Structure 1
Amino acid sequence: MLNEVNEVFNDKSLDQETPIGVPLTAKYKRSFAYLTIKDRLPVIITKIVDHLYRDKQKIIEQFGEDATEEIKSLIGSFSKLRNELQTNKPLLPIAIGADANLWNSCIQDCRWFDSPWLLVECYLYRRMRDNIAQSPSLVDFDQFLEQKKSGFVASVPAMRGLEAHLNHLTANPLSETVKTELIQLFKVALWGNKCDMSLSAGERREQIVDPMKQLDSLESNILCNHLENVWEKILKLKENTLSVIDIVLDNAGFELFTDLCLADFLVSHEFVSTVRLHVKNMPWFVSDATPVDIFWSLEYLEQHMPELGSRWRSHFHSGKWILHPSAKSSFWTLPHAFGKMQEVDPELFEVLNNSGLVIFKGDLNYRKLVGDLNWSPETELKVALEGCPTPLLALRTLKADVVVGLEKSVVSKMEGDWMVSGEYAVMQLLDK
């Protein structure tokens, strides 16, 4: 098999960098897409197979004895999926789900290393869900749930520092320091995006240090910072008693915690009346947040940080926080760039385009905003984000080799793997 895999790689992938203006793809060896599909994605699948072997009895206890044979079948289907990927087979049809026909129309004549990276990486997670959906006893099984829970719990020391800070802010008037505090929470939510388990191929990534203490040292790593304009935008929203901010979430765990801290501050200090949260409707990119992750996290916080957990639960009960119905959020698990949202999901586009501000978190959302094309980093935001709902704010640490909206002087100083290391970030606002 190793020889077959190497032969496919040698024959099908070109030893060159990705040309400007084309979709990111593993067709080009000197790309992060190539490294992802060749190395990272097979490891993610292997970890799922290991989990099914190692925790078989625990899974059976949770889902019932009928799951015994289904687990064996699932191990086989995941192993088959890994082989298809490694040997550059054609993408097979999705069998189950309301979105199956749409997916199948997108993947015709596609192979893993030859097709757009965004399409095939999203397809991987959709195929995983399809495999699981064909196991009746395991239809609610989240293959990444234990990893997400573990990452959340491991980050509790850092959460406690942030909790104390937020509880203090909530309990006291902030007329003189409110701008500083809000900008700091935006930056905390930004750097929370470093805790991404798909980048680490499923290895646990937690935050240990209080993030408030790291902000100054990370300031120079923000390559584009529009927070002054964001502050002015939010001040105007505060004048409207019915204003809404949408947050399109990325990862569960510590990043989710930082996002909810920002959402808490926004409603507690009445900058907006409502924060609407958008999550994935199925397990996605290892650590992406789903409705189950939201509610599990709340239950954990109510037990271990009761003041914060109770306040956040009350935000949902009062309608200050709304979880956008997962039945209406399947767009987030489709392979489309966000420039096609108005065509593919006009209802969602209308919701977001009428929002006071849409905050897109993380790397995958950013890739979808810019169409996952190999743009020049100096490309203007309005060019790369054409067709996306606005006003929007992208908060993203760089974990893929695409970025736009940077000054030439910034780009000229960057060296090495700066676009994929997760060490650098952008906070970019595109207004109407």
Structure 2
Amino acid sequence: MPLPSVFRNNDSGTFGYHTAHVRWPILVGNAIDDLQAELSTLDAGSEAYVQGRAIEKELAALREEILNDGVIRPFSEEEVRVAEIPGSFNEVVSSYAQTWLTGGWLFCEVYLYRRINVLFRARSGWRDFDIFNRVKQATFQSSTLGVVELANRYRQLKSQLDSANPESLQLLFKEFVDISLWGNATDLSLLTNATLEDIQSLQGAEARKNSEAKILVNDTERAWAHLQNAQQGRVDFVLDNSGFEVYADLMLALFLLDTGVTKKCIFHAKDIPYMVSDCLIKDFHLMLEDMKSPSFFDLQNLPQGRGALDFLVAAIESRVASGAIEFVQDSFWTTDLDYWHLDPSETKYHGAEIHADFRNSDLVIFKGDLNYRKLTGDRKWPRTTRWATAIGPLASNGINTLSLRTCKADVVVGLAPGVDGQLCELWKRERKDEPPSWWASSGKYAVICYCDGQQ
């Protein structure tokens, strides 16, 4: 049976079509604005300023290239050299012609961030500059209340974890998974008062029920059951966003470590500024510095904030120092390759090496929408397709995987019959100006998908 085709930028009525035609030009325009803000801090006679102005012109040209549906061109030998661009991009470009507004959505989107990155890597004064740093920092700063609330809750919970019974630990696992899943949209009532009695109470059950209503596939219990019999003592996180989201991922990691569920958590970050908000290793270190800073967060009306943040930073840094938390990066995560290539058969771009490494992990948690798209190949699967079918080789090549994804793109699988139709009808009533299928791109729904790698 042939595989479904991938989503393309000229698929009318899809979120991919809207992204390519509307969102990408805005994204590049925002990058120009942020570059201009940085240039305003430099001496107009400096070499860095001159180089920055050249980058500004090239970003403007890239924006016009997208708007005018230009041809997707290969990277030059010089671009490949200075920006260490994996050869997989040019292999695709040379195999068939694509344009910005007709090409494959996933490929063109990943290619776009490589095109942006090469402009900076080619200039000595900008080689290590993160064009998305301003927006990442501003977004994290806007999460002050959530950051402090979760730090307070975890500080209160930590002393109770040693005496927690198995039922309480499973409930806490579900709630930390939910927090990691929703990120900034987390319902902080999940950990209200943060005592084990509260979590097991009727009110706690009601909060969980409300939170889980928008989770259309929920394999959390299967993942927990697997971790109870885990042998390797290791959990991996393939990261999505920086800021509050990686902060929430670290909370889940601390819970797993502090309860002895695992002994080590490895976080896999991106190696270039990517998808605007994706997490680099430097973003993790910057997050800790932000939390230590006396001025980054406005704590004037949060009297317990300083103590809670100091507690959590100390807890994280202690785990980093002991080796229990580790951040790593690999260029595989920023190639165009989907995760069907996380397999011994992929020997050119680190897919086989990462697969072999993940065989040593009890659970690999893939965070966010882009990772879900790569897991499924960003293909036009019927929305009732089995998860094990949509992830291809990963269903059977020996890796235990868990995908935590708020739905922000067209591809969704694993739904019960009738659910997609019901949500399309609901969306049609609520959003008359949008295609009904856009419920799947709204970020209002989520899926938690587990596979034991033995299908």
Unmatched runs of 5 consecutive residues or more in structure 1: 1-19, 195-206
Is the CA contact (8 Å cut-off) linking 2:88 and 2:337 kept in structure 1? Answer: no
Matched, 1:101 2:91: no
- State the 1:55 CA deviation: 3.1
Matched, 1:71 2:45: no
- State the 1:209 CA deviation: 5.9
The separation in 1 between residues aligned to 2:47 and 2:316, in whole angstroms, is 38
Of 406, 418, 423, the residue aligned with 2:439 is 418
Matched, 1:351 2:357: yes
TM-score norm. by structure 2 comes to 0.82
Matched, 1:273 2:263: yes
The separation in 2 between residues aligned to 1:81 and 1:100, in whole angstroms, is 20
Change (3 A) 1:215 1:208: closer
Of 11, 18, 22, the residue aligned with 2:5 is 22
The separation in 1 between residues aligned to 2:191 and 2:418, in whole angstroms, is 29
Unmatched runs of 5 consecutive residues or more in structure 2: 193-206, 294-305, 428-437
The residue type equivalent to 1:406 in the other structure is L
- State the 1:218 CA deviation: 2.8
- State the 1:255 CA deviation: 0.9
Give the corresponding residue for 1:372.
378
**Deviation digits for residues 331-380 of structure 1, max 9, x if unmatched?**
00000110012214211111123310100000000000000001111101
Give the corresponding residue for 1:124.
112
- State the 1:68 CA deviation: 0.7
The separation in 1 between residues aligned to 2:52 and 2:449, in whole angstroms, is 44
Give the corresponding residue for 1:38.
21
> Could you say what the CA RMSD is over the residues aligned between the two structures, in angstroms?
2.0
Change (3 A) 1:170 1:370: same
Of 154, 165, 176, the residue aligned with 1:185 is 176
- State the 1:105 CA deviation: 1.7
**Deviation digits for residues 100-121 of structure 1, max 9, x if unmatched?**
4332222232211221100000
Is the CA contact (8 Å cut-off) linking 1:339 and 1:369 kept in structure 2? Answer: yes
The separation in 2 between residues aligned to 1:398 and 1:424, in whole angstroms, is 6
Matched, 1:145 2:133: yes
Is the CA contact (8 Å cut-off) linking 1:221 and 1:423 kept in structure 2? Answer: yes
Of 29, 32, 37, the residue aligned with 1:54 is 37
Give the corresponding residue for 2:433.
none
Q: 1:55 is paired with a residue of what secondary structure?
A: helix
The separation in 1 between residues aligned to 2:327 and 2:339, in whole angstroms, is 20
**Deviation digits for residues 1-33 of structure 1, max 9, x if unmatched?**
xxxxxxxxxxxxxxxxxxx92110112221111
Is the CA contact (8 Å cut-off) linking 2:409 and 2:440 kept in structure 1? Answer: yes
Give the corresponding residue for 1:9.
none
The separation in 1 between residues aligned to 2:444 and 2:88, in whole angstroms, is 36
Give the corresponding residue for 2:416.
407
- State the 1:174 CA deviation: 4.2
The separation in 1 between residues aligned to 2:125 and 2:39, in whole angstroms, is 13
1:358-397, aligned counterparts within 5 Å? Answer: 358-388=364-394, 390-397=399-406
The separation in 2 between residues aligned to 1:161 and 1:215, in whole angstroms, is 18
1:238-277, aligned counterparts within 5 Å? Answer: 240=231, 242-277=232-267
The residue type equivalent to 1:24 in the other structure is F
The separation in 1 between residues aligned to 2:153 and 2:27, in whole angstroms, is 36
The separation in 1 between residues aligned to 2:323 and 2:90, in whole angstroms, is 38
Is the CA contact (8 Å cut-off) linking 2:143 and 2:184 kept in structure 1? Answer: no
The separation in 1 between residues aligned to 2:336 and 2:115, in whole angstroms, is 12
The separation in 1 between residues aligned to 2:64 and 2:222, in whole angstroms, is 48
The residue type equivalent to 1:359 in the other structure is I
Is the CA contact (8 Å cut-off) linking 1:157 and 1:209 kept in structure 2? Answer: no
Q: 1:29 is paired with a residue of what secondary structure?
A: coil
Give the corresponding residue for 2:289.
299
Give the corresponding residue for 2:312.
308
Q: 1:414 is paired with a residue of what secondary structure?
A: helix
Q: 2:288 is paired with a residue of what secondary structure?
A: helix
Matched, 1:284 2:265: no
Give the corresponding residue for 1:428.
449
The separation in 2 between residues aligned to 1:425 and 1:116, in whole angstroms, is 24
Change (3 A) 1:75 1:100: same
Of 99, 108, 119, the residue aligned with 1:111 is 99
The separation in 2 between residues aligned to 1:372 and 1:38, in whole angstroms, is 18
**Deviation digits for residues 76-103 of structure 1, max 9, x if unmatched?**
1101111111111112333133334332
- State the 1:252 CA deviation: 0.6
The separation in 2 between residues aligned to 1:373 and 1:395, in whole angstroms, is 18
Change (3 A) 1:146 1:216: farther
1:332-343, aligned counterparts within 5 Å? Answer: 332-342=333-343, 343=346
TM-score norm. by structure 1 comes to 0.87
The residue type equivalent to 1:103 in the other structure is F
Give the corresponding residue for 2:202.
none
Instruction: Quote the sequence identity (%).
Output: 29
The separation in 1 between residues aligned to 2:419 and 2:210, in whole angstroms, is 18
Is the CA contact (8 Å cut-off) linking 1:154 and 1:208 kept in structure 2? Answer: no
Alignment length (residue pairs): 393
- State the 1:215 CA deviation: 5.0
The residue type equivalent to 1:419 in the other structure is A
**Deviation digits for residues 212-241 of structure 1, max 9, x if unmatched?**
46754332100011111111111112xx4x
The separation in 2 between residues aligned to 1:232 and 1:100, in whole angstroms, is 38
